[in-house]
Amino acid sequence: MQIDPKLVKELREKTNAGMMDCKRALTEANGDLGRAEQILRTKGIASASKKASRATKEGIVASYIHLQGKVGVLVEVNCETDFVAKNENFRAFVKDITLHIAAAHPLYVSREDVPGALVEAEREIYKAQVKGKPEPVISKIVEGKLEKFYSTVCLLEQGFIKNPDQTIKELVSTKIAELGENIVVRRFTRYLVGEPLGHDENSDE
């Protein structure tokens, strides 16, 4: 089918994918822009998963200060080569991550970083909230609430502030597909003036 060049341009602007990739996705989606975007995101995630085991020893540490110095963010994002670390697309992506952390207030990078004791405490709270219901129902509700909890406190599972329909994990996958290297958000720290010490720090140490 004939694809309108304006649609290709619009899809490229939304996804940063290559022109030919956009055209192929639109052809596969019969001109449906939303479906074509989903196809590109799915392919990006599939491509990213193949690169996930690659070592990431390069990258940058970026900072962001917001609200007249009331909120500050430091983040380390790793990639495979110094070439990509200097790439404007990569650096713009890292800047977006700092902006997101400042605005969305995640506490951990991923669900694997959440302390087991905290997860169990949340689980007990959710169980108490639905006490008296049949066990299968309780289990389903509790797991659903835990998923919501993870999407609130874990950076990779939050909806991106510039596009809430896309998680940070999906955004990372998109950048991996674009830049051709594995990318890892390693750690971050978010400071808020007056906040108790130790309340909102994330580190792998």
Q: For 104-159, how does the pLDDT look when each residue is reduced to its tens digit (9 = 90+)?
A: 999 999 999 999 999 999 999 999 998 888 888 888 999 999 999 999 999 999 99
Class of domain 115-151: mainly alpha
Query: Could you tell me the CA-to-CA distances from 121 to 118, 128, 137, 165 in Å, in that order?
Result: 5, 11, 19, 29
CATH superfamily of 58-111+154-192: Elongation factor Ts, dimerisation domain (3.30.479.20)
Q: Which residues of 45-55 are buried (b: 16+ CB within 10 A; e: fewer)?
A: beebeebeeee
pTM check: above 0.75: no
Instruction: Output the pLDDT for position 49.
Output: 58
pLDDT mean across residues, the chain: 86
The CATH T-level fold of domain 5-51 is Helicase, Ruva Protein; domain 3 (1.10.8)
